[in-house]
Amino acid sequence: GISTLENRNPWRLLPSKPEEAQPLSHIGTFLDEWQRSLLDIPIDTLTKEEDIGKGNNDLHFLEEGRRVIAVTRFHVLDGDDYNTSSSSNNNDNDEWEMELFRTCWSEMGKLMSEDVIDTGSLVVLPNTNNDLTLGDVQRFVQTKLVQPAEWMG
């Protein structure tokens, strides 16, 4: 059960949202942009009855809206906590990646233990290393989260 999750490293139970002002600010900024991106999706105008149900933009808007509503847990991994100018090697990046791994799998364990459908966690990554790209994050998600989850069924 979830109680054993608390006692093992590297897994840990995380609060549903941060309490400090800076991480909450990062989440607020992200959610504002997420909402703005929803508002930027054009809504298909239905002019004929036979066109009802064919609105690809409408479907995209609904899918994205469901994703927003499904998020019930929020986390911030601020790159400034791991990127130090005094370090010239990859240790800070390795530490950040391990913290991201630990956060994601802890959240997956928490959500699975609650067994609630249509819910999820959001991990915001502000101030990441300049060398980190969206492709790097996508590869991390694919290799460290999606593939292992598929292997486990």
Look at residue 87 in the predicted model and tell me its pLDDT: 46
Which of 73 and 60 is assigned the larger pLDDT? Answer: 73
The tens digit of pLDDT for each residue in 5-56 reads 555 566 788 899 999 999 999 999 999 998 898 888 777 655 455 555 566 6
Q: Which pLDDT score, from 0 to 100, does residue 9 have?
A: 60
More confident residue, 123 or 49: 123
127: left (phi over 0), alpha (psi -120 to 50) or beta: left
**Interhelix angle for 56-70 vs 21-39, to 10°?**
160
For residue 129, give both structure tokens.
């290393």
DSSP E strands: which ranges in 7-113?
71-76
Task: Give the CA dihedral 139, 144, 146, 148, nearest 10 degrees.
Answer: 140
Rg (CA), the chain: 19
Q: Which of 37-41, 72-76, 118-122, 140-144 has the lowest mean pLDDT?
A: 37-41
pLDDT grade for 86, boundaries at 50, 70 and 90: very low
User: Per-residue confidence at 85, pLDDT binned at 50, 70, 90?
Assistant: very low
Q: Distance between CA 51 and CA 30 in Å, rounded?
A: 34
